[in-house]
Structure 1
């Protein structure tokens, strides 16, 4: 069974076709752990009337911690050598929490962090499941002992009598499974990252394994034929989940029942008919051999797959990924032979719970110490180039009542200044020492800017009551900015304009939710984004009620199956263009002028991370215009906006020359991540946005 579980996970991570749901191998591991640990604790409790906690934890420490720490230390060092410094420092934090077996909650919190989806995968990502298992080891003995104590109090039994009956423990584990499963189903819908990473939402799978071992006598009474059918059915359920599920599946949710029940059936069938049915297949020598190295293979396979492309300098094809998986299997064999087994079976350590615990403590301390040391050795990256002047844009306000030619001239005046600054930075080589914001601070801007920009998160459905600028006057001009996070990123520019022009500014933005009437599935929630549809209704009602003079609309252009989102459309396709026309017409019908802001170029990397690895070659992170800008898509959007009665602003010239789109302009970092603007660059462009808004208002 361990072989089935680890093969599913390894081949899934190697992106082998037909195994899009191989991640369910972790669920199989959980059921196996629940079966083995519950059985171990129950047998000891049944024999002695209690559980020797020092012996239990010593055995776990001796078995698991040395191999985990060894792989963790090597992964930390390899990350320091191969990863860009910013990404490496994040990996060091991941490695430290992994060594302490709390990385599952670190990754859970990162799931709440809006910037997380844009960050590269951690080489320690797979340690989350080890965190769940270690936390399980702390909780389960207390559960067994607590049940025994409760039985003694209620029935006034002796310690031995309290542990001799299995029925109370079955009831307790069934209650744990029911409560955990309920929590998992609820969390899977509202917060999949919570359901996926936390022990409370995974405990039901461990409890299912425990229920199998506590009911082993009933399983043994099954006829061999019935047991064989149950085993083959269970194995088929696991393989079906591996084949039919994908990363778009709402998980764990109800879907996790398939591999969990499957694993329970296979294990239960092994109690009933171990030499019949699928037991024959699982018992062959190759499967047993893979099962023996499953723990170490699980530890090695992911960092090898993540770091190998950096070592060879290009992404891995299928054959190369399979080769990397095989190499990690070879490392697992060496780890089993020279680390796991020698320490696990060494008599001086094995006979002493104290020495076993000390061994685990030393291994953990070593891994944590290496991570902390690397945080000191690998400092935050800082530009090494000469200080560069901050770009400035001098605004020339157009008096009210001027001709459209005057507004066009004002727009051309400020745009030319930005284009000159962009052109002067196109061939910048060395990151300036006075980069603003510094590379290490850029990622933190994303969440703080969106909080200040009043962006609604994935679960909120009402339009935010977020007004700034001149909110006291009843005669002031109201400007609304509407869209997803790519609308929220313009908040610094519009906020600056609202203060200067005495506007009432309303930011109506929601994560991952463009205002267009298109069906959206949430990449974060892994389900239909019903909250987006509800939010759109509230926003349109707000616009009809408040009658803003100008509505500025923009959104990301990375929606659609081609860009990793599960929607049945792609940005710029016919459905997108038609929806944009309908949206502009609908807002215009409510009495507002409409300004659609075109897309920002796609840098094709998480820019601060890329720059941290190319401090002497900024152009390595600055994409060519031909790949960063979709000229045809912009032209189609412009025509669609005009057809709906609005105005369209092609912003490409604010970011790109004819050949390149620099990611640093003067001393200003353009992108926070893989597409959102920094606060500083958004503020720099405020005069251009202001000229666009002035012209749109004048046309009305």
Structure 2
């Protein structure tokens, strides 16, 4: 697979005068690997003070760029060619068996430990990881690395391995192609065939500049899109490569200067680990801090690999950690994710650290029993074809295991007796001009019927066999129709989304995020019955309040990634034009809260900024002449209810939250007061979901929640009489 030598060396003196890439073992780089993996592991273990430990992956990218570029340059410099079979064979022998082995064990453990409804998604992640395309799978799914830890994939960390493997696939042909072009130019000019570093420096500089520009722009437009793919990460690998090509110049640094540079670089990495957190806009310019830090450490080591910070990095414990860094990285995340499933409860900090240490032990075993024997086996090492075959077989085994397990995942079907479909009687609204007491009575009647159905289901033990919707058809996201009325994170503007009696002169607008949209099935039926025109205006991830002006960080993230502020402005302008008689507002109350990470929004639901913003919103809508109805939150079950039920088909109570933990009573009271202060009406919906002590996951045969926070379309339609009575009351006495 290698081309013939393109160059020959005619001048020994010229060759000796060119800067060379260091070929000896670098203990400082092994120690730097230890720093990187410890940072990542402690971040994933939610260690206080290491909120930016995810930058360890950026350090790994720089190291890979330095080592792989150095390896390729040495071969091009000595032979004028790159032996692709040997290069890819060495990478396959080194990386694929361990990755595949951990992947297979993770898939089997996930199959055995996770609820059936979660298993297919994890197995697909495992297959994608075995093929080293999981970074694009997570990108396509819109998985935010920093907010995916409530129900994380045990393969989430494989995204960086995908970037590394894609880097290997691209880098070697890029070097080979550059060398080939150099040879053609020199033959055409009949110039001396001396390999020059300049074209490679130019190529890597162009890659670094182009990739960084793309990363910078994409980070501000769509951070998730910038985080995972190789094109927005290649600049970090290219900068590491530039250090490799200029290593000879770095070696000339005075020792005291190199020592200062090395410590400064290590300090930059540590600073990023403790300064950054999941709210940091990343990668973007923030990634420069750990990247430049890693560059400085490696560059200083070219001059003094055993002095300055190199002395610390060369310390035997750091070397030991560095040796297991690859396997530790592979093991730590699945252990942290699956350990709670094995223990049956969330892990505290001591338990998480113990799990991390356990994964280090597994890494040592993997290194001793799998990595090193295969890596250094003469039979395999001396044959690129055997090395490639080893990697191919390992990958094929992992993929086949995933596909096989997919075929035997049990279908979650309720084991309980069929339950009756709950029924809430719809009544006609009071005659026009009726006093408020008549409308209050209608609301109370509807709520009372729902409460009776909820109470009758509070003691349910087994999932009904006629559950509606059935668990088998659900995934870990709400089943919203693709009608365009719910805009996603990157869509701007809003189409005409009229429902009900579209010719009616009475317009009701439903406005908010996906939690507003989940009431569209109920309000659409109400609008049809009452001959209203229902306008649905919803955008996922965007609370319909002016919170973006309260926190600059949140504004930076969402104004660019989701266009929330622009969308809100457009909708306000549209409401001013359309003059709806009633505006129904709802939003998710989970913004700013995450059970394993710091707030990602820069504020929290129910805090002072939230409450003040709600009052301003109601006042703004009232000033347009519209009546405002703010719907209170549905209870928060703190888990994906369908997933939980799929693992507890005979124990519905295991997925039924306590009212005291699912309902924020003080927050609801504060929102109610804020809405009334703005001149609107507030509807506390808690009694549509909860008894005095529990909030059932199943009412009759109807599944209440479609995921961890949205209600199902079926339950929304069940509540039509209650939602209709609230809307009638609001319209009659706005």
For the criterion TM > 0.5, the same-fold answer is yes
Q: Which residue of 2 aligns with 1:589?
A: 623
Matched, 1:505 2:537: no
* Pair 1:305-2:336 in alignment: yes
Does the Cα contact within 8 Å between 2:485 and 2:494 map onto a contact in 1?
A: no
Tell me, in whole angstroms, the C-alpha distance in 2 between the residues paired with 1:522 and 1:664.
Answer: 41
Q: Which of 679, 687, 693 does residue 659 from structure 1 map onto?
A: 693
CA contact (8 A) 1:15 1:318 kept: yes
In the alignment, which residue of structure 2 is the partner of 1:228? 259
- Within 1, Cα distance between the matches of 2:352 and 2:191? 54
Residue 664 of structure 1 and its aligned partner are, at CA, apart by 0.8
* SS of alignment partner, residue 246 of structure 1: coil
| Match of residue 552, structure 1, among 566, 570, 584 | 584
Q: Which runs of 5+ in 1 are unaligned?
A: none
- The equivalent of 1:430 in structure 2 is 462
Contact 2:278 2:600 (C-alpha < 8 Å) held by counterparts: no
Secondary structure, in 3 states, of the residue corresponding to 2:117?
helix
Report the Cα offset of residue 41 of structure 1: 1.4
Q: Deviations over 1:321-358 (max 9, x none)?
A: 22222111111111111100111111111111111111
Structure 2 equivalent of residue 601 of structure 1 = 635
Q: Where in structure 2 are the equivalents of 1:95-244 lying within 5 Å?
A: 95-111=126-142, 117=148, 120-156=151-187, 164-244=195-275
Q: Please, which moves more after superposition, 373-382 or 452-461?
A: 452-461
Q: Which residue of 2 aligns with 1:478?
A: 507
Q: Verify the 8 A CA contact 1:572 1:636 in the aligned structure 2.
A: yes
For the residue of structure 2 that corresponds to 1:417, the secondary structure is: helix
CA–CA distance in structure 1, aligned partners of residues 459 and 438 of structure 2 = 34
Contact in 1 for aligned 2:125/2:155 (Cα 8 Å)? yes
Can you list the C-alpha shifts for 1:125-182, whole angstroms capped at 9, x where unaligned? 1111111101111101111111122223333369996671111000000000100011
8 Å CA contact 2:150–2:594 kept in 1: the answer is: no
Distance 1:532 1:251, change over 3 A: same
* Structure 1 pair 668–543 and aligned structure 2 pair: CA distance change class (3 A): same
Q: Taking structure 1 as reference, are residues 357 and 440 closer, same or farther at Cα in structure 2, changes over 3 Å only? A: same
Aligned to 2:100, what secondary structure does the other structure show? helix
Report the equivalent of 1:579: 613
The reply on whether 1:410 has 2:431 as its aligned counterpart is no
Query: How far, CA to CA, are the matches of 2:558 and 2:152 in structure 1?
Result: 25
Compute the displacement of 1:116 (Å).
Answer: 8.2
Q: Which residue does the alignment assign to 1:634?
A: 668
Q: Secondary structure at the match of 1:384?
A: coil
Give the match for residue 427 of structure 2: 396
> What is residue 10 of structure 2 aligned with on the other side?
none
Kept after mapping to 2: 8 A contact 1:48/1:160: no
Quick one: distance in 2 between partners of 1:533 and 1:365?
47
Take 1:96 and 1:373, find their aligned partners in 2: how far apart are those partners?
Answer: 11
In the alignment, is the contact (CA less than 8 A) between 2:508 and 2:583 conserved in 1?
yes
Tell me, yes or no, if the aligned pair for 1:445 and 1:679 is still in contact at 8 Å: no
Q: SS of the counterpart of 2:227?
A: helix
In the TM superposition, residue 644 of structure 1 has moved relative to its aligned partner by 2.4
Deviation sequence 1:176-196 (CA, Å, 0-9, x none): 010001111111111112211
Task: Work out which of the residue numbers 52, 57, 66 in structure 1 matches 2:88.
Answer: 57
Counterpart-to-counterpart distance in 1, 2:426 and 2:146: 33
How many Å separate the matches in 2 of 1:211 and 1:223?
Answer: 20
Aligned residues of 2:144 and 2:224 also touching (Cα < 8 A): no
Q: Decide which of 382, 387, 397 is 1:356's aligned counterpart.
A: 387
C-alpha deviation, 1:233, in angstroms: 1.6
- Computed over aligned residues only, the root mean square deviation of the Cα atoms, in angstroms, reads 2.5
Distance of 1:567 and 1:359 partners within structure 2: 46
Q: Give ranges in structure 2 of 5+ residues lacking alignment.
A: 1-31
Q: 1:611 aligns with which of 642, 645, 650?
A: 645
Aligned partner of 1:22 in structure 2 is 53
Q: Distance in 1 between matches of 2:556 and 2:350?
A: 30
Counterpart-to-counterpart distance in 2, 1:206 and 1:654:
55
Instruction: Specify whether residues 562 and 391 from structure 1 end up closer, same or farther in structure 2 by C-alpha distance, changes over 3 A only.
Output: same
1:526 deviation in Å? 7.5
> How far 1:523 moved relative to its partner?
9.9
Instruction: Say which SS state the counterpart of residue 595 (structure 1) adopts.
Output: strand
The Cα of 1:205 is off from its aligned counterpart by 0.7
Trace 1:36-115 onto structure 2 (pairs within 5 A).
Answer: 36-111=67-142
Q: 1:681 aligned to 701, 706, 715, which one?
A: 715
Distance in 2 of aligned mates of 1:74 and 1:557:
38
